[in-house]
């Protein structure tokens, strides 16, 4: 079928249904009526000779064909959007836009407050969604435009993904205020003698500090593995367990617990945080503006 015979608006509907998993929510996203979305979906089904979406309960589940074409469709729509908007002008004070930012939960407390302070001052109609995705999906999400930016540790990503280091953090150890071993100072013998918490979203595997200890032929006892540093800080306040974590987040998460914050008695690489974006939006005015806000907010300017 020649592209001149295709209504390109249908692909906007296709992407909305795929993203929302619902005809009703797709209609709300596109500001169209539900019958209009249903009519467009019927035309898409005829065009591809495939149902594309099958209802399961309250959700529209994509067929294998729909899953195979979603990324090319998203990239094409993103390219058209950039073509229409990339005129070098972007007025944050007038823009109405939602930016999607991939951000791991441990970084939310340090990144979002200063970033939102800047954005709300300059752009009253710009919203931000901070979401967590699988790292293996990062490249495809940035390429498709479903993500505008990502903030994470240094990752082995292809050259099409641009990056810039935006912060650096040191590693500290938390111990409860009246810890029987730790009284304002912590040496390596104390650290190894104590029991520890490992905060990780992974079900198994060593923490970064464990890799550094193993290089020295040392090992610590992990008594508790949990998912979030905040919960770990509370456990520290009520037990003799120690918690090793980035200092920036420790200062925030520990405020209500009053645990001791001490230097890690082992040399460890810094926690370097990077900002990631796709080469397709390198010169996009809106994306460039958001990148600038992230960088400036974390620099304290």
Read off the pTM: 0.70
Q: What is the CA radius of gyration of the chain?
A: 24
Q: Taking the C-alpha atoms of 221, 223, 228 and 232 in order, what is their torsion angle to the nearest 10 degrees?
A: -100
Task: Say what the pLDDT of residue 175 is.
Answer: 97
Segment holding 60, helix H or strand E = strand 59-62
pLDDT at 275: 97
pLDDT, residue 172, reads 97
Residue numbers of the chain with a pLDDT score lower than 50: none
pLDDT at 1: 58
pLDDT at 266: 92
Cβ neighbours, 10 Å, residue 295:
16
Name the packing angle between helices 34-48 and 23-30 (round to 10°). Answer: 110
pLDDT of amino acid 101: 95
Two tokens, residue 19: 């993203």
Which of 281, 279, 290, 275 has its CA nearest to residue 128? 290
Q: In the prediction, which pLDDT does 4 show?
A: 64
Q: SS3 of 71, please?
A: helix
User: What pLDDT is attached to residue 158?
Assistant: 93
């Amino acid at each position: 079928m020649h592209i001149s015979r295709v209504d390109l608006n249908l692909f906007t509907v296709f992407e909305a249904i795929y993203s929302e998993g619902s005809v009703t929510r797709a209609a709300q996203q596109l500001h169209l009526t539900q019958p209009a979305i249903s009519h467009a979906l019927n035309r898409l089904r005829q065009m591809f000779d495939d149902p594309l979406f099958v209802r399961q309960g309250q959700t529209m589940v994509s067929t294998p064909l729909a899953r195979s074409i979603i990324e090319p469709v998203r990239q094409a729509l993103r390219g058209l959007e950039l073509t229409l908007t990339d005129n070098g002008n972007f007025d944050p004070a007038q823009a109405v836009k939602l930016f999607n930012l991939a951000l791991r939960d441990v970084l939310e407390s340090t990144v979002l407050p200063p970033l939102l302070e800047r954005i709300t001052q300059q752009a009253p109609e710009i919203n931000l969604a901070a979401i967590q995705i699988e790292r293996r999906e990062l490249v495809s999400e940035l390429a498709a435009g479903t993500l505008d930016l990502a903030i994470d540790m240094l990752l082995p990503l292809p050259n099409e993904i641009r990056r810039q280091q935006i912060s650096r953090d040191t590693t500290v150890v938390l111990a409860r205020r009246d810890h029987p071993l730790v009284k304002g100072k912590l040496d390596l013998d104390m650290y190894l003698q104590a029991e520890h918490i490992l905060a990780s979203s992974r079900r198994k595997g060593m923490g970064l500090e464990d890799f550094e200890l193993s290089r020295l032929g040392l090992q610590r006892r992990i008594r508790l593995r949990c998912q979030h540093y905040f919960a770990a800080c509370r456990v520290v306040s009520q037990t003799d367990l120690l918690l090793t974590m980035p200092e920036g987040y420790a200062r925030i998460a520990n405020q209500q617990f009053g645990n001791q914050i001490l230097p890690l008695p082992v040399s460890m690489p810094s926690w370097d945080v990077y900002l990631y974006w796709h080469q397709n939006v390198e010169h996009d005015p809106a994306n460039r503006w958001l990148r600038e806000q992230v960088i400036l907010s974390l620099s304290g300017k």
